[in-house]
Structure 1
């Protein structure tokens, strides 16, 4: 019996396992797929941070390369709690893409040489233009403690300027966008916003200005609650210059 076993082992070593198994039994070789590479283009240098899908990816640098997975992503340039620029992109595996996080130069920001200001920027000699405005509506408490309404009102008033900046950037790609954004907000017992549903909106970009600001609200711990609020968005308008009659 020992001799038979030794003979079988010798045959196996000569023939090879791959020939015994057959080529069809070998595991398939899968070529690796490179994740999408994104190049960031921006005209902001100082104090801005790059966020991808809400995650901090470090300082915002013009020409920086970021690796992300395939699919839909949200790229943002932020400073403190203010969103300076926001872009949504759907990326494919193995493909390179450029994401342009551009904005007019806010205080403290230094524009990169060679970049153009956003469309609609006021230039010397242009007709007087009123600024875009954002007005906050009432807080209507539907469920929860009464103090929640006053907390929401106080916090949102502090964010109106940030919402207005977001709206002005949205106008660069959607001139004339105006109207009311109405939201239904649900607050979890932990004090965080569980959901901010747009009940009535203007368009996806303007709606996001209001929705994102509401999502960042924080309340004292309680049993949770629900309230409604709204924002009115009005674009800038060019003031008509007074007519001047020609001198006789």
Structure 2
């Protein structure tokens, strides 16, 4: 890999009682990339993210983020990262701008209002910034949640199944947002069950199954593990998502709709 690893794991294990969730995970995530971690429910994706974000201690092995050891320097790791969970963690009573300014104050940044305004503009939420977050659509709420994660310019962001429960249009909004993060130099570790999401976004992909990494590489490298495709003529019928998006068209109210 040409880019140095900003996230590194060696032999990471974690058990809950008799249940072995992680069974020796080795992984390197290159700087400035989107790295997708795929796995079914119970594969250990969220447990791995919780360890990397210092919310949970590993039973064995070593993990480092941005050159800082997770076990011995958790405070240093937290200075470098941000975590967005499966459900948006916005305060629905506060406005979008107030949510962002609150996080800026908690991070002890100067001029929280200016920080909030800059992020509202970056995520196309300026027109909705004065409205209560509870009036936002699912896609807007998730974009605000990701914007809150970027307060303080973290070098690494963990996105734990960020499109769970979103409609197709909102998912695409989030995809565009995630892609822009990596384009701006942020390293993104994305956990997802949606294979199309990984295909659309990821620079590299790892498959976690029963606590172990089965395979890791680019999409083309993973596809090369199977026999070459056989070319046949198949009449493709439109999917329900194709129909939905064709009928609804691009959203013209993503910045101000509810």
TM-score w.r.t. length of structure 2: 0.28
More strand by share: 1
Higher RCO structure, 1 or 2 (CA under 8 Å, sep 6+) = 2
TM-score scaled to structure 1, two decimals?
Answer: 0.28
Name the structure with the higher helix share: 2
Larger Rg: 1
